[in-house]
Amino acid sequence: MEINKDFSYTEAFIACPECDLIHSTPKIREGEQGRCIRCGALLFVRHKNSLNRSLAFALTGLMFFILANLFPLLTFQMEGQSESNRLIDGAIAFWNAGYWELGIVVFISSVVAPLAVLLVLITLLLPMQLGRSPFSPQFQVRLLSHLKPWAMSEIFILGIIVAFVKLQDFADVSVGLSLVAFVLMVAATVMAYLTLDEGALWSRLKEIRA
């Protein structure tokens, strides 16, 4: 491959994030993706209307996140007594039981990080939609990449399912409205991520700033 090494920084080439091999940036069409020829890592994706759709999904996700905090997740009944829990009750219960480390871990991974991901996406994409530059796109993009591994809502859902099955053995358990909202929030967040094309993000930012 012919590479002009005399650049300061360039978008004409990219290095594979997992093996460092240089690839020239291809002209791929919307809906297509490009993988590294050496290690198979995903290098390029193009989505139709990427930024608008990602924003729409993030806003939807935020709406469901709010709903998920208003109602019970599960309701548990035994001998005429009942008890419900909200999204944040798990973290609080760990904290109150003296397991504050676990309280913090659960609070961050099931509440703070999923909410922060949505808020960062919205504060990044909404101003751009209105033709304005976000307050600090560099910081926001870096924050997003740091938050991503710690937002574990989809795993939390499996935790709820296992808890539900365990309780069924000795009590009546029913699913609350919040669980439905929470599942929809996770779906919207996943879609917001999947449709976000970072290449499109940087080029749109350049246009706005020009």
By CB under 8 A, name the binding residues for other proteins: 1, 3, 5, 7-11, 13-22, 38-41, 73-74, 76, 78-79, 81, 83-85, 89-94, 97, 99, 101-102, 105-106, 109-110, 137-139, 141-142, 145, 149, 152, 155-156, 158-163, 165-167, 169-171, 198, 202
Which residue's CB is nearer to Zn ion, number 37 or number 155?
37
Strands laid side by side in the 81-85 sheet: 81-85, 74-78, 172-175
Q: Of 199, 205, 191, which Cα lies nearest the Cα of 53?
A: 191
User: Could you tell me if residue 9 is left (phi over 0), alpha (psi between -120 and 50 degrees) or otherwise beta?
Assistant: beta
**Cβ-contact 160, 73 below 8 angstroms:** yes
36 lies in the binding site for Zn ion (CB under 5 A): yes
Judged by CB under 5 A, which stretch of 31-39, 58-66, 73-81, 102-110 contacts Zn ion? 31-39
Residue 2 Cβ vs Zn ion, minimum distance, rounded to whole Å:
20
Q: Who contacts 112 (Cβ-Cβ below 8 Å, separation ≥6)? A: none
Q: Phi and psi for 49 in degrees, rounded to 5? A: 55, 35
To the nearest whole angstrom, how small is the minimum distance from the Cβ of residue 135 to other proteins?
Answer: 14
Q: Are 153 and 62 in contact (CB under 8 A)?
A: no
C-beta of 46: minimal distance to other proteins in Å? 14
CB of 120 to other proteins, least distance (A): 13
Chain residues binding Zn ion by CB under 5 A are: 16, 18-19, 21, 36, 38-39, 41
